Amino acid sequence: MTNPAPALPAGFGSRPLLESDHLPVLAAVGEWWGTPQAPELGLLLPRLFFQHFTVLSEVVEVTDDAGSPRLAAFLIAFQSATHPDRVYIHFVGVDPQWRGRGIAAGLYERLFSAARALGCTRVDAITSPANRGSQAFHAALGFTAHGDQQIEGVAAYADYDGPGHARVALTRTLD
């Protein structure tokens, strides 16, 4: 079944990701996640994603009190080069002050529509066993979690992203 993308709250708008979003997104990740984890997370967002993976990627902006757009959320996703019938979600983040308003759900539903238009039938993503919020979000968006053993109380794959970096694999069929 096709769900329409939830409307963004008043004052918010979405647009395609641009190369010029690279440094603002890195700054936002530092701000939104706090300093201890931010440098590690920033390494997941090299400029190449903002150069070569923009077709299905989006940002959400909110107009601030001065009338200027401010980054509120971003999604980096792409059609798999290996499996063209799949879309891979690399990173999603919403400013903590704007969470719980359907902004990420809207980003995902717009992505699903664009992916269907490309003929894709499956969406993949991963998250860490400790990230229960991400797991709950993806379950709410229709993803199934996969793993071959219990790690930190959830099904996950050990050493998926390197020694000590277990991941929960997430998949969703597009019908």
Residues lying near ligand COA in the complex (CB under 6 A): 91-94, 99-105, 127, 131, 133-134, 136-137, 140
Nearer to ligand COA, 79 or 134 (CB): 134
- 154 Cβ contact partners less than 8 Å away, ≥ 6 residues apart: 129, 132, 135, 145, 147, 168
Min CB(51)–ligand COA separation in Å: 20
Tokens of residue 123, six digits: 């969406």
The half-sphere exposure of 120 on its side-chain side, counting CA atoms within 13 A, is 26
Residue nearest to ligand COA (CB): 133
Min CB(119)–ligand COA separation in Å: 25
Nearer to ligand COA, 84 or 106 (CB): 106
- 33 Cβ contact partners less than 8 Å away, ≥ 6 residues apart: 41, 93
Nearer to ligand COA, 63 or 98 (CB): 98
